[in-house]
Structure formats: structure tokens, C-alpha cells
Amino acid sequence: GDSVTQMEGPVTLSEEAFLTINCTYTATGYPSLFWYVQYPGEGLQLLLKATKADDKGSNKGFEATYRKETTSFHLEKGSVQVSDSAVYFCALKVGGTSYGKLTFGQGTILTVHP
Amino acid sequence: EAGVAQSPRYKIIEKRQSVAFWCNPISGHATLYWYQQILGQGPKLLIQFQNNGVVDDSQLPKDRFSAERLKGVDSTLKIQPAKLEDSAVYLCASSLDGTKAYNEQFFGPGTRLTVL
């Protein structure tokens, strides 16, 4: 079946540090890939997405590139801020009878210190 | 535009009791999802509705969980009887049309259930 594996966390960084959160996937079809963010006390929000190989999703300084050859969608940000502290989820969606169903990774907790 | 509304935000019950959660999706959204998020894990789909019909309930423990979406608008998820392992956050999400891969899912704030 479909699955998503994220790097083990939590991740703790100082402000302005470089961030990478690894994400790899297995899928039975051709998936769309997503990063969601969950701030404390809030619901999941879509951060960025990519729908085909070599696409780069970007938002709020975060980027991720859909790599079909390595089945990866790693999240990066060049300079993190305290306000980026949250839980980040990688997810995929495959078309078919369960169109729209998201399969999530386990989440990575990011804490950024001043 | 109002987001996905859920209530209650928190619920504490004893095992073997019953509990119900309510979700009001974004107006006009045809597809509604219920996810279960256990602490330390990513959300897992329990059930998906397209209008008022069930599209996918393969991960729903049907011996104790039930859900309905009357009139294709708001939805209720029920657990009866609850077990300790049901302690989790229950997330509701909606999409304009889940049959279209490009349509985004919007999530509510969730209901945190604690079963003692």
C-alpha cells in the first residue's frame, strides 16, 4: 500500500539556521505530494505541494522538489524563524477510487530557539 | 470565508461510554473526511463522504464507530463503546470536490478525545 516516511524528530534549531526535513514515499500509482504544517492549537494547513516529477513547491520561504527517481520530497528552508516552530507532515495523494485520500507521514516536530 | 468548524474541542470520557463529534464543512464543499490522529502519528483516514454518500470507510472500525452526513452538509462521528486506544485527535476536513486531485483539503481544528 501507499506510505510516507519522515525523518525521525524532533528537530531543534537556532534562528536563521538551515532546515531540512526528509520525506520518502512508496505509492501504487503516480502521487501528488504535499507538506502540511500544524501550529500549536491549530488545525493542519497546506504549506506547499507538487503534482508531478521535478515540480518544486514553495511557500513562505519553504521549498520541496518532487524527485521521482529517489521517491523523495524533502522540505527545506534557508533561514528558519521562531515562528516556524510547528509540526510538519509530509503526505501523498493517489488518484483512483479513493481520490482525495491523503496518506500522511508520522510528523516532525520543529522547535526554533532565538 | 468561514473554515471547517468542529465541536467539541475537547472531550474526556470513561471507557465503554459513547461520544459524538460534529463537523460543519466549508459551504459548498462536496467531499468531507474524518481522520484520526493518535499522538506521535500522522492523521489516518477513517471515512470519506462525497455529498451524503460514503466513498471510503475501509479504515473505520465499524463495530464501534459510525458516521453520517445527512443532507450532504454537516457530519457526525460517533464512538460506542469507547476504548482506551480511541484516545486521539479527530480531524474533519472538506474539499470542493475530492474526485479532482488538484482540490485542496481544508482541515478543522480537531476534537481531542481522552478515554480514561
Cα A43 to Cα A38: distance, rounded to the nearest angstrom: 6
- The 10s digit of each residue's pLDDT in A98-111 is 566 889 999 999 99
The predicted structure's pLDDT at residue A99: 61
b/e B39-61 (16+ beta carbons within 10 angstroms → b): eeebbbbbbbbbeeeebbbeebe
When CB atoms are compared, the residue of A43, A89, A101 closest to B45 is: A101
CA distances from A91 to A30, A42, A47, A96 (A): 13, 18, 11, 16
Q: Give chain A positions within 8 Å (CB) of B99.
A: 99-100
The predicted structure's pLDDT at residue A25: 96
Cα B66 to Cα B77: distance, rounded to the nearest angstrom: 6
Pairing assessment for the beta strands B44-50 and B31-37 based on DSSP bridges: antiparallel
Q: Give chain B positions within 8 Å (CB) of A102.
A: 33, 43, 45, 105
In chain B, DSSP assigns E strands to: 5-7, 10-13, 19-24, 31-37, 44-50, 53-56, 65-68, 75-79, 88-95, 106-107, 111-115
Residue A6's contacts (CB-CB under 8 Å, 6 or more residues apart) are A21, A22, A23, A88, A89, A90, A105, A106, A107, A108
Average model confidence (pLDDT) for chain A? 92
* pLDDT beyond 70 at A96: no
Tell me, letter by letter, the H, E, C secondary structure of chain A: CCEEEECCCCEEEECCCCEEECEEEECCCCCEEEEEEECCCCCEEEEEEECCCCCEEEECCEEEECECCCCECCEEECCCCHHHCEEEEEEEECCCCCCCCEEECCCEEEEEEC
Residue A100 to residue B95, Cβ atoms within 8 A: yes
- The 10s digit of each residue's pLDDT in A10-42 is 999 999 999 999 999 999 888 899 999 999 888
The predicted structure's pLDDT at residue A30: 85
Cα of A112 to nearest chain B Cα, Å: 19
Cα of A44 to nearest chain B Cα, Å: 6
Give, for all 116 residues of chain B, the pLDDT tens digit. Answer: 689 999 999 999 999 999 999 999 999 999 999 999 998 889 999 999 999 899 889 999 999 999 999 888 999 999 999 999 999 999 999 999 887 767 789 999 999 999 99
- Quick one: pLDDT band at residue A58, thresholds 50, 70, 90? very high
Q: Give chain B positions within 8 Å (CB) of A99.
A: 98-101
Q: Which of A90, A108, A100, A63 is nearest to A3 (CA)?
A: A90
The predicted structure's pLDDT at residue A97: 55
What percentage of chain A has pLDDT greater than the value 70?
A: 95
Q: Note every long-range contact of B46-52, with CB atoms under 8 Å and residues 24 or more positions apart, other chains counting.
A: B46/B77, B46/B90, B47/B77, B48/A98, B48/A100, B48/A101, B48/B98, B49/B75, B50/B98, B50/B99
Assess A12–B contact: CB distance below 8 Å, yes or no.
no
Chain B residues 27-46 with a CB less than 8 Å from chain A? 31, 33, 40-45
